[in-house]
Amino acid sequence: MMSKGETYKGRWKPEEDEILIAYVNKHGLNDIQNITGLNRSKESCKIRWTNYLNPRLNMVPFTPQEELQIINLHSRFGAKWNLIASEVSSN
């Protein structure tokens, strides 16, 4: 049993994903702290939504052309992913 204020740091369960999705769809991502009833930190909830659950995410693999473009941009800009992303999205 977890003590008050302690957050769970293991794998996300499908039930937790459903709770988070329902909460964000109803209330947005602001004030997500412990209102969801999940024993997860605010940061963990935001990261889970942003990187995995957001329906606007494009989770398909890169095409060979996209992969080559990213490699070329990385050699040009280094690991400045915000510049790479802006360059890719402008094409």
Q: Are residues 37 and 67 in the same domain?
A: no
The residue range of the domain holding 73 is 60-91
**39 located within any domain:** yes
Write down the pLDDT at residue 1: 40
Which is nearest to 45 in space by CA: 90, 83, 7, 4? 7
Write down the pLDDT at residue 36: 64
Q: Are residues 67 and 43 in the same domain?
A: no
Question: In this structure, what token pair is assigned to residue 79?
Answer: 């690991």
Q: What is the mean pLDDT of each run of 10 residues along the chain (91 residues)?
A: 64 93 86 71 89 89 92 95 85 68
Q: Are residues 18 and 44 in the same domain?
A: yes
Q: Are residues 19 and 39 in the same domain?
A: yes
**25 located within any domain:** yes
Q: Are residues 46 and 65 in the same domain?
A: no
Cα–Cα dist 66/89, whole Å: 11
Cβ-proximal residues to 1 (8 Å cutoff; 6+ apart), any chain:
none
Write down the pLDDT at residue 14: 95
Question: In this structure, what token pair is assigned to residue 64?
Answer: 């060979």
> Would you say 29 and 62 are in contact if contact means Cβ atoms under 8 Å apart?
no
